[in-house]
Structure 1
Amino acid sequence: MEQPAAPRIHVQALGEAFQAGADQWAERLNLPLQVDDAEFALQLGEQGLQLQQLGPEAPGPVRVDFVEGGAAHRRLYGGGSGQMIAKAVGVAQGVRPRVLDATAGLGKDAFVLASLGCEMSLIERQPLIGALLEDGLARAGDDFEVAPIVARMRLLKGNSIEVMRDWQGEPPQVIYLDPMFPHREKTALVKKEMRLFRPLVGDDPDAPALLEAALALASHRVVVKRPRKAPCIAGPKPSHALDGKSSRYDIYPKKALKP
């Protein structure tokens, strides 16, 4: 199956004060500063780095914000270690595993786990989304309350499968995967993040290879987040799953996590 053509993207400063920073991002990501028929703009302004789809039907911009909005609400009122993701990765009394989130996206799940005390490594292979994540982590590091949380989040660059296969040093105890699920027209991709990610990221046809690499590296368990009714990733079967309203966590244990 042919991959769709890569979307046309340019970098844009939202004001003169941000031009030098925009120039640096353009150089780092090897993107132009002006394209007449661009489909996306990576914009730098007062609120940091954001990705804006262009065109009349486009949703608003997407940025990584660990300080305000949804991340703050979930940090303050989100149910703590009772959250399903916490149970899935093995957070328990006296247990805060070292976790690798190998499909980090905008870092929301990793931030939840870091806020509960887990040491997190994050890999995001799409360079634009990795840039948003890097910018969001840097801005969060300037916030008094959030800085200690993002200090537990380490961003790694590259293709997750290759990074896992070439891992150096102590392996993560838990590896967390949330691969892009193949698009079905019936499912309404309501979230603007998903509308934005789909043309940039596409599906994850290599999810089985991702799972295989994770199972080879993790010392204690692998956790895969799936839409609730979706099939398991091809390969070994999970031992059990935790079901939520719209998604579930497939759990592949290797050995027990102990305090």
Structure 2
Amino acid sequence: MSDRYQLVQTPARLELHDTHDPKVGAVYVDFVDGKAQHRRKFGGGKGQDIAKAIGLHKFKHPHVIDATAGLGRESFVLATLGCTVTLLERSPIIHALLADGLIRALRSDDGEAVEIASRMTLHQTDALVWLKTITADSLPDVVYLDPMFPERQKSALVQKEMRFFHEVVGADEDGDALLELAIQQAKRRVVVKRPRHAPALQGVKPAFVIAGKAVRYDVYLGKAAPQERAE
């Protein structure tokens, strides 16, 4: 990472700042207030597309590995819905932001946020390495992938965060290999989040698709789930 982007510990939280363009504001993780709070109160529960893709109408309290955790938003949603979530993030910078957000959630006065955050476990690691080394008795029910995709976004916030990610983390060049490995290691499903009109990851046709207005979820059956059928 260039010295353009710096981690800053403020009295409230850890933030990532763009020192060349301070007007764009900071990037940080907040699982208690703001959008996270709104999503858990009004997000639609198990009727959300991500819940359908994960299979929450079939599986109770699945263990999900979020192999591309980023700022942890989807992980928090899944934990809100009762999943046990293992977050994998290889960037030490993004991992530090996530760790700070989790600690603040666990220490907050919001009992619901504390309960949700307690279902989330964070590791700084490369998902390709992690998935290769997990033992048979700890295989996840679902592996969730949200690889970065270079698409123009309308939201200024999304533009800012994606620019930070591309600069700090770099390109996602191993998404294809990660998909193949995830399918081998998932007991039930692999779910890949994609922009609605983007090609399938690695050109591999999913078993089925849950599509929304802006994004879709491509669902692949894990190797240990031959009994599942397309929705």
> TM-score of the superposition, structure 1-length normalised?
0.80
Alignment pair present for 1:164 and 2:156: no
Please give the residue correspondences for 1:176-215 in structure 2 after superposition, counting only pairs within 5 Å: 176-181=144-149, 183=150, 190=156, 191=158, 192-215=160-183
> What is the deviation of 1:204?
1.1
Alignment pair present for 1:253 and 2:221: yes
- Please say which structure displays the higher CA radius of gyration: 1
Q: Which residue of 1 aligns with 2:104?
A: 139
Label 1:125 to 1:58 Cα distance change in 2 as closer, same or farther (>3 A): farther
* Aligned-partner Cα distance in 2 for 1:60–1:187: 18
Describe the superposition over 1:134-160 as per-residue Cα deviations: whole angstroms up to 9, x where unpaired.
110000001233111111001122111
SS in 2 for 1:205: coil
Q: Which residue of 2 aligns with 1:149?
A: 116
Please give the residue correspondences for 1:86-165 in structure 2 after superposition, counting only pairs within 5 Å: 86-92=51-57, 95-143=60-108, 144-165=111-132
Structure with the larger RCO, 1 or 2 (CA within 8 Å, 6+ apart)? 2
Q: Which residue of 1 aligns with 2:202?
A: 234
**Does the aligned pair in 2 maintain the 1:180–1:202 contact within 8 Å?**
no
User: Percent identity of the aligned residues?
Assistant: 45
AA partner of residue 122 (structure 2) = L
Label 1:158 to 1:56 Cα distance change in 2 as closer, same or farther (>3 A): closer
* Aligned-partner Cα distance in 2 for 1:202–1:58: 23
AA partner of residue 195 (structure 1) = R
> What is the deviation of 1:95?
2.1
The unaligned stretches of length 5 or more in structure 2 are none
Label 1:207 to 1:52 Cα distance change in 2 as closer, same or farther (>3 A): same
* Higher helix residue share: 2
* Aligned-partner Cα distance in 1 for 2:130–2:23: 34
> What is the deviation of 1:210?
0.7
Query: Which runs of 4 or more aligned residues in structure 1 lie more than 4 Å from their structure 2 counterparts after TM superposition?
Result: 186-189
AA partner of residue 65 (structure 1) = D
SS in 2 for 1:122: strand
Alignment pair present for 1:64 and 2:29: yes
More displaced, 167-176 or 220-229? 167-176
Describe the superposition over 1:101-144 as per-residue Cα deviations: whole angstroms up to 9, x where unpaired.
00000100000010111011010111100110011000000123
Alignment pair present for 1:81 and 2:46: yes
The unaligned stretches of length 5 or more in structure 1 are 1-6, 9-37
* Aligned-partner Cα distance in 2 for 1:241–1:235: 14
> What is the deviation of 1:179?
0.5
